[in-house]
């Protein structure tokens, strides 16, 4: 526990002792019975959160937050004792302690199916203002959010994708180690075709993938672009398929994605222009609200444009 209070290093890829200590607590919480983890943690937690040293208070609250995944059910009867700790942390005079408390509170709520969606929405908002401070929390966020992509219902997955998009934007090149595992988890969202919740998930996923490309392609330069290029052609095809589904939201997501790809790849995007530009022109001919003019389908509009050129 004392190691959790050591200062954080700036570099994401540098293995600070405090991060290693939190990973060990996480591993213990997910692999051992909670009685062997949370009970000892609870015994030392009080001395940490009442310490005059803000580093100790921050470390204690981070340890509390990271232990939630493996101990969530065990903690439920004890929440009357846990929430006062969180409440005190949220009012702490030190900003680093308040941030750590937000993480601890949200991580607990993320584990509860009744509050997952709202907790992920709150996390999304927090990620938008963390900026460089995300470095010390990124691994925790990605582990928790990636798990929800496997198990949560579709409405929660939609909010999770928004939070991952915000984490990517904040962490920039720090997202690179998480890019491929995340893509493997979410690529099947891009072939969903049912209206309603599936369209919503497909749209936010396309938006998030565009942010991924900027993070690993623009900020990580050549190495990141090469990694993203493995998915590039398939993603372009899925973006075109989204245009044909009759959803104004998906159509917008596809065109935004094209814009990001053009920015990331520059001249390398040029071979796609003969297909992208007619789709843009056809979309401009749609009526307000995304409805097509009577008697003119997307395919017909594209064919008419091609014939006129």
DSSP letter at 291 equals: P
- Greater model confidence, 104 or 204: 204
302 within a domain of the structure (yes/no):
yes
pLDDT tens readout for residues 51-97: 889 888 888 888 887 787 677 677 777 777 877 888 888 888 888 88
- The answer to whether 146 and 120 have CB atoms below 8 angstroms apart is no
Burial letters 229-267, b for 16+ CB under 10 A, else e = eebbeebbebbeebbebebebbbbbbbebbebbbebbee
Reference 108, options 144, 136, 133; nearest CA is 144
- Greater model confidence, 15 or 122: 122
Q: Which residues contact 141 (CB under 8 A, 6 or more apart)?
A: 123, 127, 134, 163, 167
- The answer to whether 239 and 187 have CB atoms below 8 angstroms apart is no
Domain residues for 261? 172-309
- The answer to whether 192 and 150 have CB atoms below 8 angstroms apart is no
Give the chain's end-to-end CA distance (angstroms, integer): 69
**pLDDT(144) > 90:** no
- The answer to whether 197 and 158 have CB atoms below 8 angstroms apart is yes
pLDDT tens readout for residues 205-257: 999 998 888 887 665 554 577 788 889 999 999 999 999 998 889 999 999 99
142 within a domain of the structure (yes/no):
no
243 within a domain of the structure (yes/no):
yes
Name the residue with tokens 């040293």.
53
To 10 degrees, what angle do helices 138-151 and 17-31 make? 30
Task: Find the mean pLDDT for residues 133-151.
Answer: 84
Per-residue tokens: 68: 């939630």
203 within a domain of the structure (yes/no):
yes
CA distance 259 to 189: 21
278 within a domain of the structure (yes/no):
yes
260 within a domain of the structure (yes/no):
yes
Other Cβ atoms less than 10 A from the Cβ of 36: the count is 11
pLDDT tens readout for residues 170-197: 888 888 889 999 999 999 999 999 989 9
pLDDT at 221: 52
pLDDT at 241: 95
Q: Which residues contact 254 (CB under 8 A, 6 or more apart)?
A: 206, 239, 240, 242, 243, 279
Per-residue tokens: 213: 């490309």
CA distance 205 to 218: 19
Mean residue pLDDT of the chain comes to 82
Reference 176, options 217, 144, 206; nearest CA is 217
Q: What three-state secondary structure class fits 194?
A: coil
- How many domains does the chain fold into? 1
252 within a domain of the structure (yes/no):
yes
């Amino acid at each position: 526990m004392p190691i959790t209070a050591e200062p954080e290093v700036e570099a994401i890829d540098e293995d600070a002792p405090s991060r290693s200590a939190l990973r060990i607590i996480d591993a213990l919480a997910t692999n051992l019975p909670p009685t062997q983890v949370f009970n000892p943690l609870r015994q030392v937690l009080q001395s940490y959160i009442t310490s005059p040293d803000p580093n100790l208070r921050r470390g204690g609250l981070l340890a509390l937050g990271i232990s939630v995944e493996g101990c969530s059910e065990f903690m439920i009867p004890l929440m009357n004792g846990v929430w006062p700790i969180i409440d005190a942390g949220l009012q702490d005079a030190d900003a680093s302690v308040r941030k750590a408390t937000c993480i601890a509170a949200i991580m607990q709520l993320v584990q509860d199916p009744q509050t997952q969606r709202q907790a992920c929405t709150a996390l999304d908002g927090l990620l938008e203002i963390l900026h460089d401070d995300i470095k010390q929390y990124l691994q925790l966020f990605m582990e928790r959010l990636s798990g929800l992509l496997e198990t949560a219902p579709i409405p929660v997955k939609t909010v999770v994708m928004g939070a991952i998009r915000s984490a990517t934007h904040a962490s920039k090149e720090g997202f690179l180690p998480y890019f491929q595992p995340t893509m493997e988890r979410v690529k099947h969202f891009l072939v969903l075709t049912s209206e309603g919740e599936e369209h919503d998930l497909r749209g936010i996923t396309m938006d998030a993938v565009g942010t991924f490309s900027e993070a690993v392609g623009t900020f990580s330069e050549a190495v990141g672009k090469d990694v993203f290029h493995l998915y590039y052609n398939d993603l372009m095809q899925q973006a075109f398929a989204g245009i044909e589904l009759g959803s104004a939201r998906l159509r917008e997501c596809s065109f935004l994605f094209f814009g990001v790809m053009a920015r990331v790849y520059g001249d390398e995007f040029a071979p796609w222009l003969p297909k992208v530009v007619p789709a843009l022109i056809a979309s401009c001919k749609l009526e307000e609200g995304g409805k097509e003019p009577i008697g003119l389908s997307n395919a017909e509009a594209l064919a008419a444009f091609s014939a006129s050129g």
